[in-house]
Chains A and B, each alone.
Chain A
């Protein structure tokens, strides 16, 4: 049998890789790709705790469904913002979108 720690460490590694992408990528779309990886890591944790706890308590899976919905909403609004910024500024490099830093 697989111990619970394997899932948790896998999920922590996936989260850290996503965090690295969010913190370091310059392209806005690549930053959103990192956010998707982090949300998936959270889902792995939720489902693992559902499986290793009482499987009749379905809360872990229900939370994972809500995370799916939030991820879909986040990515649609995020990509709409990226396209809007690209139309106005002709760039999606995060360093060059600095008008709020004046």
Chain B
């Protein structure tokens, strides 16, 4: 075992534990904080994969905006946060079976694929991934159209969220 393998295993174990706590913790504020832990773990995985820009965006967008939005929503619907009833619905055994089945299916599908044990080539030291990504997002030959459509989607989501949550009385 090399050092980066050990680091990966530690990060992955922490992330999966945090994710499991997100879906099992009764107190929703705690679930939101566990979600922050899981998102930081995914950001660390991005950093291990040399995707430095995505690691930073993960922290800024997910931890800085989305998790805080969740905490605000929990506080605005606080009556149910103290709800002492069951947190899982009555079909939870079927749900657990189905998600275990999805995991087992993916696992055996991956075992049957021969590209799965591939290791990465050394990261080229003269390649600036952030500059390449920025160029690709605004280049007409690459992804400028999805980029612009995503910005329109964000504006539509902003207007829609304000309209839906507005108190019409």
Interface residues of chain A, those whose CB is within 8 Å of chain B, are 1-10, 12-21, 23-27, 29-30, 32-34, 36-37, 40, 43-44, 47-48, 50-52, 55-56, 58-59, 61-62, 64-66, 68-77, 79-84, 86-87, 90-95
Q: Is the interface of B mostly helix, strand, loop or mixed?
A: helix
A residues less than 8 Å from B54 (CB atoms): 43, 47, 61, 64-65
Q: Which of B46, B57, B62, B77 has the most CB of A within 10 A?
A: B77
Do A25 and B88 have beta carbons less than 8 Å apart? yes
- Min CB distance, B21 to chain A, in Å? 10
- Min CB distance, A7 to chain B, in Å? 7
B residues less than 8 Å from A61 (CB atoms): 51, 53-54, 129, 133
Q: Is the interface of A mostly helix, strand, loop or mixed?
A: helix
User: How far, in angstroms, from A78 to B5 measured CA to CA in the complex?
Assistant: 37
B residues less than 8 Å from A23 (CB atoms): 91-92, 94-95, 98-99
Do A93 and B83 have beta carbons less than 8 Å apart? yes
User: How far, in angstroms, from A55 to B131 measured CA to CA in the complex?
Assistant: 13
Please judge, given known A-B contacts A16-B99, A44-B42, whether A84 and B164 are in contact too, CB under 8 Å.
yes
A residues less than 8 Å from B143 (CB atoms): 59, 62, 66
- Min CB distance, A54 to chain B, in Å? 9
B84 interface residue (CB < 8 Å to A)? no
* Contact partner, B164, options A3, A56, A80, Cβ 8 Å: A80
B residues less than 8 Å from A94 (CB atoms): 89
B residues less than 8 Å from A1 (CB atoms): 2, 4-5, 119-120
Do A58 and B160 have beta carbons less than 8 Å apart? no
